[in-house]
């Protein structure tokens, strides 16, 4: 019986994968697929939890690659700004989930096609009866992005990258408040932070977590560019080199924080990337 159920699921999966290809999409033979030089092979997760594959996107959207190059961030930004609205393919079809109910009678296969359409196929593993549902891709609206440079081969870079990873893919519902200090967790060695220079009372001192304010400053600048209000923000006691005056935001424990609320009528995503010595914070409206 288990083998029969497994066979039914495999047949359904093959059919769903075949049907998940977008109209007019052609799978190239492996020998014909030429990956763009310098493209990053690591997939990125979009705010709707589907995969953005920069190599795939550049390969199948060569006009974009010719115009922008093949850095993962530029390709990602193009897709957020224009690609999804234009219906461009952005990854190979893949199985996102395949589950069987606890009693073993029902199976569900969830496949994301190259345009982001999600197909869920429910199968009665006893009778073989099927039910198929499709979910359209989530709409994205680009709000803003800001990039600031940092040195990559020093301790401070570890703190920048750690804080960046903690705010990446944060989704705020309408009215929901965001606290930068709470989101990146206490600045301790146990939470991945290391000692690096930081500004305290108009002096540079060494402390665990030095550099995290570059991430909060980049986020704050992106909020400014998006025209979104901020509930709490504090300037450094000294000028900083990575961003202009009036665009920085320092934090200290929970006493000084960067806080804002999603004032939009739809969810908002924070995307944060560290690539090639730059941290980029992008704000995206969903739906």
139-194 pLDDT, tens digit each: 999 999 999 999 998 999 999 999 999 999 999 999 999 999 999 999 999 999 99
Torsion of the alpha carbons at 263, 266, 267 and 268, rounded to the nearest 10 = -60
The full set of domain ranges for the chain reads 22-92, 141-286
Question: Roughly how many angstroms between the first and final C-alpha of the chain, as a whole number?
Answer: 43
For residue 198, count CB atoms less than 10 angstroms from its CB and return exposed for 0-12, middle for 13-18, buried for 19 or more: buried
pTM of the model: 0.81
106-125 pLDDT, tens digit each: 999 999 999 999 999 999 98
Gyration radius from the chain CA atoms: 22
Q: Are 141 and 50 in contact (CB under 8 A)?
A: no
Cα–Cα distances (Å) from 43 to 22, 33, 261, in that order, read 20, 17, 29
Could you list the beta-strand ranges (E) of the chain: 44-45, 51-52, 94-100, 106-112, 118-124, 130-135, 140-149, 170-172, 177-179, 195-200, 203-208, 259-261, 268-275, 278-286
């Amino acid at each position: 019986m288990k083998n029969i159920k497994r066979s039914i699921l495999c047949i359904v999966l093959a059919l769903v994968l075949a049907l998940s290809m977008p109209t007019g999409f052609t799978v190239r033979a492996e020998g014909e697929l030429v990956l763009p030089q310098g493209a990053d092979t690591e997939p990125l997760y979009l705010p709707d939890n589907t995969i953005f594959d920069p190599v795939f996107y550049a390969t199948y959207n060569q006009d974009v690659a010719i115009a922008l190059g093949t850095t993962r961030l530029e390709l990602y930004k193009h897709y957020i700004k224009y690609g999804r609205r234009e219906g461009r393919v952005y990854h190979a079809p893949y199985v996102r989930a395949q589950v069987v109910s606890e009693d073993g009678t029902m199976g569900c296969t969830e496949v994301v096609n190259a345009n982001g359409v999600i197909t869920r196929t429910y199968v009665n593993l006893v009778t073989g009866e099927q039910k198929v549902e499709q979910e359209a891709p989530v709409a994205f609206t680009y709000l803003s992005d800001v990039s600031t440079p940092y040195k990559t081969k020093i301790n401070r870079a570890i703190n920048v990258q750690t804080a960046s990873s903690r705010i990446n893919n944060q989704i705020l519902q309408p009215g929901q408040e965001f606290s930068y200090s709470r989101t990146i967790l206490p600045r301790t060695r146990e939470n991945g932070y290391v000692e690096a220079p930081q500004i305290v009372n108009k002096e540079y001192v060494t402390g665990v977590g030095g550099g995290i304010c570059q991430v909060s400053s980049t986020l704050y600048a992106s909020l400014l560019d998006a025209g979104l209000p901020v509930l709490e923000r504090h300037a450094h006691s000294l000028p900083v080199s990575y961003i202009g005056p009036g665009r920085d935001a320092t934090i200290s424990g929970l006493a000084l924080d960067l806080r804002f609320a999603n004032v939009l009528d739809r969810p908002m995503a924070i995307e944060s990337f560290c690539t090639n010595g730059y941290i980029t914070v992008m704000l995206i409206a969903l739906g």
